[in-house]
Amino acid sequence: MKADEIKAMILEVIHEIVPDEDLSDLKPDVRIRDQIEMDSMDFLDIIMELRKRYGITVPEDDYMKLSTLDSSVAYLEPLMKDI
Query: In the window 42-61, what residues touch other proteins (CB under 8 A)?
Result: 44-45, 48, 51-52, 57
Q: How far is the CB of 65 from other proteins (least distance, A)?
A: 19
Q: Is 46 exposed, middle or buried (0-12, 13-18, 19+ CB in 10 A)?
A: buried
Q: How far is the CB of 4 from other proteins (least distance, A)?
A: 27
Cβ nearer to other proteins, comparing 2 with 53: 53
Cβ nearer to other proteins, comparing 38 with 73: 38
Cβ nearer to other proteins, comparing 2 with 51: 51
